[in-house]
Structure 1
């Protein structure tokens, strides 16, 4: 069955077997072949700034603890006691020198070592290989621009190589700050009856849905840059870009366009915003190339497999969104706002308001997207519906071809309306799914 389904995932022909969004056997295989071999986002540095700070999250279906040790090195451990598998930490974040298992009391230090065993001499007769019973540690943890990723595959390529050309664009978002990016406290979590890939690929490559899915928000002037005007879909950006390893960006603007929009907003806010925006532009010009500085912000994207983000300029809070798989037909979405640590309070307040209005669970855009995911799933699990493939043929044969893109933009730059990024997402997914994960003896 799995082989038959994968044989019908044919992004090069513009068709995808819709069973990959609802079949539980496919889900179980992708938890192994996708999430154990790719670099999965686990934390931003601002979420765990101090030695022995921690947070809990997931890599695929596995719960993990992201924990700075005493020397401030970021480490990732399976959130499961090495004794009988009890979940070790059941809070979201904090600071701790150690964790004690609530089942039998085994205690582990921030370097993952088994630090204490109750009744060690009496129950174990002083004989237990503690050095072999520390927390199970993820062998690869690396960061880029303050974003930490983990990978279970010891032989995986470096994070820098995995990200590839997407780093060029990511630098624009990360370096357009006065004090560095920080995650604003407060996280939204909600569950959606839909497969994790539907959301991840939407952010990676789907510009086509916005004027229809988000029509209500656009008609009331959401994010419009001129008073009394309706924002068109094309106003969000001009290009899409596909990258190796399944990553994708949409809504990349022509040079100067996003800066012009921010300048209008700054003028409307007042002197403090105008000065802040000019300072942002100055520091960005010093840190990146002239073309990067002119692009100014990067729109929407997904780092494969499940980290998505929005970056619509200097006065909208940046979105960091993780699509945690829960089953073949359920996802849990974690949303955080990213913003410049050193921005003036008035700017932070405006950015927070714009963020809340937009891509949050009760926002104008977020609720629309989640309804799509839910209704696609509801119409995909029937006997007949499973036999009808999805169409991803938009722009087929024209990938990487577009008019007006400036020289020097890395990646496969495509038209605003195209499925090239979605096809790219599923090409890499299918490559991983078609290769069994090696097992250690």
Structure 2
């Protein structure tokens, strides 16, 4: 009995650890989940168009990119919790203030400032998970579980947004803009909660350093070259640049398309808001199960291979989505496309974190985020400009032509990731050979 007590206590701590990380991811993800419906319909409600919505998204993205390096530096030096707390406070304050803004330019500026909070929160959250998990199965599974739990819970976000906006489904609010105020208050509250909970979660993890791993793995022999890299700053910089190049390719591609998928569906099929909200809600449910599968299986299949197969399907499913004239069938393609394009995240996160030294993790992640964010917002601005000049007669025809072409970059972006992993394996092998040579010389 005495021998079993410590083991039982360790199991409870491990469960508490993954539960806390999952709950933190849930708060953060739900704070963003309502955006996909609330923002584009808000732009239309105040008399603007899809181009104005694209400028809002792009402005927040550019500000986020500017904030990423200070966020990474603060996170590495002062702790992940402090950075997450600061991000949550900034996000919450901006979203609480947004319903009181009436000028179009000020709406763009206030929403853009949420990018500061997002930059601090998201970078530090991923680094926090990596700091308290081990490379390999445990880290990949931890990412898979936390992302799956957050995505599953956040699947209610778009549906809730559509429900509140729809005057038939939610008749309690007579003023249409008051409905959007409710949504902004909900988003701000969850982002603020993520900041506070993240701060205390990091403190709890530091007070309980003996509970790694979060997930029990079967005992297995690991060769020396499978351990965490202890590379110098130059090696980490090259790795981050290669992964960042991959992110830049994805950024320009997704930026031209992803923010405009819901506006495209709304323009092409004109569903009620509550129906429109259910589309990304169902997609998130599928994404949650797919993310969990990838998190649990990518170590066996191989992370690079898993990511490539998923990204290869993305442009093919997009073709089906934009050319199918039947709403329910189109929704099926949309749901599968969203799941396929996004559920590689546990594998890609774990892959990158395992290739970077822990002491430079947040700053390296910040670099890849910048290389993602600037192209992403540039793609969004480019689509906004093309729509504003009326190219191809509007968003429906534009989407049918450009969306599949843009996603062709997804499978290509795996190449820089592969080059980074190969390079690091070669470096680790060279170091192992040097150690063996040194040991053999020292033996009398």
Same fold (TM over 0.5): no
Q: Which has the higher helix share?
A: 2
Structure 1-normalised TM-score?
Answer: 0.26
Relative contact order, higher structure (CA 8 A, sep 6+)? 2
Q: Which has the higher strand share?
A: 1
